[in-house]
A and B are shown apart, each in its own frame.
Chain A
Amino acid sequence: MSDYAISLKRSSLLLAALAFTAALLFTNVGIFGLQKADAANFTVRSLNMLSPIAGNIGSTTPANSETNGVDTTHTFAFDNATAGTVLSMRFEYCTTAAGACVAPTNIEVETGTTITVQTHEAVTVATPFTINGASSTANRLDITRASGAAFGIGTSGNLVFAFDDIRNTDTVGTFFVRMVAYSDAAWTAAVDDGIVTGAITTGIAITTRVSETLGFSTTATVGGVSAETAACVPVTGSGAIALGDANNTLAIAQAYDAYSAFRMFTNAGNGAVVQYRGATLTKAPLTDDINAIGAAALASAPGTEQFGLAIDADGGTFTGDTGGFGGANQLALTTAYNDGEGTIVNAGTASFAFVSNTLTTIASSPGSISCDTAAVRYIANISPLTPAGTYTTTIVYYGVPTF
């Protein structure tokens, strides 16, 4: 064998030795530069951020909601690669996956943060972890426990940890969380590790305005009340009512009624009222009038002077949509005016009230009204003493929203 041949063999051996050493070195250094000896990688790992909004955008929405990046929830799910006891874990937020960890700008994972979920195989960890405030920092969340049962290798996503009230970083883009599980309680003996990543966005800010709205209309025309649609078109027609028999004449022995209607919608947040004001039926130019029933509701009493009104939930003569009171986004009827349906014979089932020349509320809503229509029933009775003549009145209705 020549010297050249010997030299070549030595070089080959040296090269082989160097390759072997390098292989050993790479195997032991690990992929993240973490100081661990035999750590394996978490598998099937993920980070779910309830809100991806950057922390500096601020929020008026509730904490830990989808559009609040100031107080949000980060949920980590992963499979442990190594069966055994885990007594501490570290979640370190960095701008890069490897190398020296640089904290994302203004992230805050320690102050105010709480563990809201910690499960293994969908079962809450019997001996729970707690956040160690002394060890944790603005970008590092260290949790620990004194003891605990060993984690077996389970199905996909068998370990879940959720942390509330985390402030996202201000920096839009990707960040990384380096996760390490330790078999001891002091973040020393690494067992498994892994990295998950998240992306911060600005969210899509949409601004618009909704103006104050009110639709209020009245009619006494039977055909003027249409169906209640989303547009809540006004009721239409004349406000003239001829009350009485075919000749518009009242009688002692019989009560007569007639109807008008009103329709209202509004987006008033502080509610709305429907009011009326007007005199009782009056004979001009004299001062004779038909007695108003008053504030307390009464049944019809033919032969006695009465003028009153009430809302008829059955709609009376109207064929369009009426009624539907007391529910969400609907009017609620004032007690004295809520029983207009029924009979108007002597001591009939319907009852009426009327306060003359006084602004009086007959329906109201604590909030907005989508579209509500009411049929107002008027009743008139006369006594033998009611002077003959033509009696008239004008009832004015008001829809008053408070924004």
Chain B
Amino acid sequence: MNINRPRIDIFSKAGRFLCVFIFLVFILLQQTAIVVSAADYPRPANRSLQLGTTEPGATTSYAFSWRYPSPTNIGSVRLEMCDTTDIDIVCTNPGTDMSAAVLSGQTGGVTGFNILSQSTNEIILSRPSTGANTSQSTYVLDNVINPVGLPTTILVRISTYASSDASGTLNHLGSVINSTAQPINITTEVPPILFFCAALTIDEWCQNINGNFIDYSDLSPSVEDAGVSQFGAATNAIGGYVVTINGNTLTAGNRTISALTTPSANTPGVAQFGLNLRANTSPANGQDSFGAGIGTVAPDYDTPDLFKFVNGDVVASAVTGTLFNTYTATYIVNVPSDQASGVYNTTIAYICTAAF
């Protein structure tokens, strides 16, 4: 009995089938052999990714930081934009662009890298292969462009190699993750602000204003007559404010009491109408301006015991925004003995103009 198996002719149908089958099995085994997982490699420890900004689409910095888990030789690091940590799944870049990134900083235990190559999706850092240590190392890439989506997860796969060109077997494998976020944009308005009031007496910030009428009663050539009022101002106008005095001198029909057109002393028996904004001794009336503001009195009205009245004159001002100042105006009225009789009156208006 012939116990030998019949030989299969390699060119026969069965032979060809056998060859194809063996080839397919070989390919399958090879593919199976190269499937590795992240769990197969030590992970860099204490790893994080700090973005310079999380604004979508912004050009910013990416600071990677980790500790090498063992003092193995490190010659290169691959930073790869991914949407998964699985090494056996092809990376899909969520939209980060590293093509123009520059290595702006490297600190810690393992340094000496340069950029070997880069593309939109990945950067390979390279250095002469030498032993690593396990202290924290940080690498900063500038000029990286964030993805534009909101919120978009930015996952960077970190692979380290003993080789200087990211070839060969990995030493370590891990991932860091961050995310774009909606920036919070706050908008508000600060309104133009002007505090101004005038009365016989006022409080700071014009909280209380009282009276607007001064009655000199009967004037006498030998007796000085004086009255006082106050005004105050504050503003946030960057050009500050000016306060002008507006009105006429005292009149009774077509009769007038002459106004002082230049700063002059109080002289009973002479027709005078004027004011200043200081504390006076003659007459003993008035008060210097006060308050936290920076307002000042105009020079012509800033000398004690000298008085003036010119319609439209600036009596006080501030060069920029200021807190509240209170001004006290002292009005003098003098008449000669031949002053025509009558009821003399006037209305004085203070006008404050702020320059915003």
- Is residue B73 contacting chain A, with contact meaning CB distance below 8 A? no
- Complex contacts, A242 vs chain B, CB 8 Å: 187-188
A216 x B181 contact (CB < 8 A): yes
A244 x B321 contact (CB < 8 A): no
Closest chain-B Cβ to A251's Cβ sits at a distance in Å of 7
- Quick one: which of B55, B188, B356 contacts A396, CB cutoff 8 A? B55
B321 x A249 contact (CB < 8 A): no
A143 to B188, CA, bound (A): 85
- Complex contacts, B330 vs chain A, CB 8 Å: none
Stretch at the interface among B8-16, B95-103, B233-241: B233-241
Stretch at the interface among A168-176, A197-205, A386-394: A386-394
A384 x B235 contact (CB < 8 A): yes
- Is residue A402 contacting chain B, with contact meaning CB distance below 8 A? yes
Given contacts A209-B37, A384-B324, contact A247 B189 (CB under 8 A): yes
- Complex contacts, B48 vs chain A, CB 8 Å: 270, 400-403
- Is residue B138 contacting chain A, with contact meaning CB distance below 8 A? no
Interface residues of A in 182-210 (CB under 8 A from B): 207, 209
Given contacts A211-B84, A212-B175, A217-B151, contact A392 B39 (CB under 8 A): no
Q: How many residues of A contact B (CB 8 A)?
A: 64
- Complex contacts, B200 vs chain A, CB 8 Å: none
- Is residue A218 contacting chain B, with contact meaning CB distance below 8 A? yes
A30 to B274, CA, bound (A): 140
Which chain B residue shows the least CB distance to A213? B177
- Is residue A55 contacting chain B, with contact meaning CB distance below 8 A? no
- Is residue A40 contacting chain B, with contact meaning CB distance below 8 A? no
- Is residue B226 contacting chain A, with contact meaning CB distance below 8 A? no
- Is residue A397 contacting chain B, with contact meaning CB distance below 8 A? yes
- Complex contacts, B237 vs chain A, CB 8 Å: 387-388
Stretch at the interface among B23-31, B124-132, B191-199: B191-199
- Complex contacts, B39 vs chain A, CB 8 Å: 207, 209
- Quick one: which of B86, B178, B236 contacts A399, CB cutoff 8 A? B178
Given contacts A215-B179, A385-B321, A387-B236, contact A403 B47 (CB under 8 A): yes
A281 to B188, CA, bound (A): 8
- Complex contacts, B188 vs chain A, CB 8 Å: 242-244, 248-250, 256, 281, 380, 390-392
- Is residue B230 contacting chain A, with contact meaning CB distance below 8 A? no
- Complex contacts, A50 vs chain B, CB 8 Å: none
Closest chain-A Cβ to B321's Cβ sits at a distance in Å of 4
B184 x A239 contact (CB < 8 A): yes
- Quick one: which of A207, A209, A244, A398 contacts B50, CB cutoff 8 A? A398
Closest chain-A Cβ to B157's Cβ sits at a distance in Å of 10
B236 x A388 contact (CB < 8 A): yes
- Is residue A262 contacting chain B, with contact meaning CB distance below 8 A? yes
- Is residue B53 contacting chain A, with contact meaning CB distance below 8 A? yes
A241 x B184 contact (CB < 8 A): yes
- Is residue B38 contacting chain A, with contact meaning CB distance below 8 A? yes
- Complex contacts, A266 vs chain B, CB 8 Å: 177
B53 x A277 contact (CB < 8 A): yes
- Is residue A145 contacting chain B, with contact meaning CB distance below 8 A? no
Which chain B residue shows the least CB distance to A280? B186
- Is residue B49 contacting chain A, with contact meaning CB distance below 8 A? yes
- Is residue B185 contacting chain A, with contact meaning CB distance below 8 A? yes
- Is residue B160 contacting chain A, with contact meaning CB distance below 8 A? no
A388 to B238, CA, bound (A): 8
Which chain A residue shows the least CB distance to B191? A249
Interface residues of B in 169-211 (CB under 8 A from A): 174-179, 181-193, 195
- Quick one: which of B51, B150, B184, B235 contacts A395, CB cutoff 8 A? B184
Which chain A residue shows the least CB distance to B65? A402
- Is residue B323 contacting chain A, with contact meaning CB distance below 8 A? yes
- Is residue A77 contacting chain B, with contact meaning CB distance below 8 A? no
- Is residue B322 contacting chain A, with contact meaning CB distance below 8 A? yes
Given contacts A239-B185, A394-B184, contact A400 B236 (CB under 8 A): no
- Is residue A220 contacting chain B, with contact meaning CB distance below 8 A? yes
- Is residue B54 contacting chain A, with contact meaning CB distance below 8 A? yes
User: B145-170 interface mask toward A, CB cutoff 8 Å, 1 = contact, 0 = none?
Assistant: 00000110101000000000000000
- Quick one: which of A238, A239, A248, A376 contacts B189, CB cutoff 8 A? A248
Which chain B residue shows the least CB distance to A242? B187
- Is residue B46 contacting chain A, with contact meaning CB distance below 8 A? yes
Given contacts A211-B175, A243-B187, contact A402 B193 (CB under 8 A): no
- Is residue B326 contacting chain A, with contact meaning CB distance below 8 A? no
- Quick one: which of A243, A262, A283, A388 contacts B181, CB cutoff 8 A? A262
- Is residue A302 contacting chain B, with contact meaning CB distance below 8 A? no
Q: Which of A207, A234, A396, A398 counts the most B-chain CB atoms under 10 A from its CB?
A: A396
- Is residue A63 contacting chain B, with contact meaning CB distance below 8 A? no
- Is residue A129 contacting chain B, with contact meaning CB distance below 8 A? no
B187 x A239 contact (CB < 8 A): no
A277 to B150, CA, bound (A): 18
A209 x B49 contact (CB < 8 A): no
Which chain A residue shows the least CB distance to B50? A400
A395 to B321, CA, bound (A): 28
- Complex contacts, B175 vs chain A, CB 8 Å: 211-212, 403
A248 to B186, CA, bound (A): 10
- Quick one: which of A214, A397, A403 contacts B184, CB cutoff 8 A? A397
A244 to B84, CA, bound (A): 44
Closest chain-A Cβ to B85's Cβ sits at a distance in Å of 4
In the complex, 7 of the A-B residue pairs with CB atoms within 8 angstroms, ordered by the A residue number, are A218-B181, A388-B236, A388-B356, A394-B186, A398-B54, A398-B181, A400-B178
4 smallest CB-CB distances across A and B, nearest first, come from A243-B188, A239-B182, A402-B48, A211-B85
**Interfacial residues, chain B to chain A (CB-CB below 8 A):** 37-39, 43, 46-51, 53-55, 84-86, 150-151, 153, 155, 174-179, 181-193, 195, 234-238, 321-324, 356
